[in-house]
Amino acid sequence: RFDHVGMFLRFQDNSLALLECTSVTGVAMYLWEDFEKREWYKQYVKMVYRHLTFDRDSGPHLENLESFIKSNMGKKYKFTLSKIVRSQPSQIGGEPNSYFCSELIAKAYKIIGILPLDKPSTKYWPGSFSSEKVLPLQNGAELGEEMLVDFGLHQDSTGHSMSFEHG
């Protein structure tokens, strides 16, 4: 059902960004306003959003995530058979030289302590993050229901035309 996964990040100044890994850009993060202005959403047939709830105050999770993102920005996209058949997870400190989309997001979830470390990040697929699957979230983390992102419903006070509908 899904062939790509990314992660929305909300910053202290309330700006929104999208973290993803594609074959064109590798690991990249885009401000949502740029994503929308450049109409990059047109390359997707459908986009859904699931709100992630977890305890952001217990431990250095957000600092670890920030460090993880900074150290992996620009790394290449790579989807290979050897990654798929890997049976042992890479160590948290041992970052791969490349990622595919769901591997990146699974690794980010591990960094913030909400996915178990014993399963390789390469074993997660875009569909693993859908509401049709049971993602083994831990430490009280939850993913909300799927919300369809519709870029044409209305414009908000900032001029953005993004809105959400239950999907």
Whole-structure pTM value: 0.83
| Positions in the chain short of pLDDT 70 | 85-95, 152-167
User: Is the distance from CB of 120 to CB of 90 less than 8 angstroms?
Assistant: yes
12-34 pLDDT per residue, tens: 899 999 999 999 999 999 999 89
pLDDT score of 160: 45
User: Is the distance from CB of 16 to CB of 162 less than 8 angstroms?
Assistant: no
pLDDT score of 167: 41
pLDDT score of 94: 54
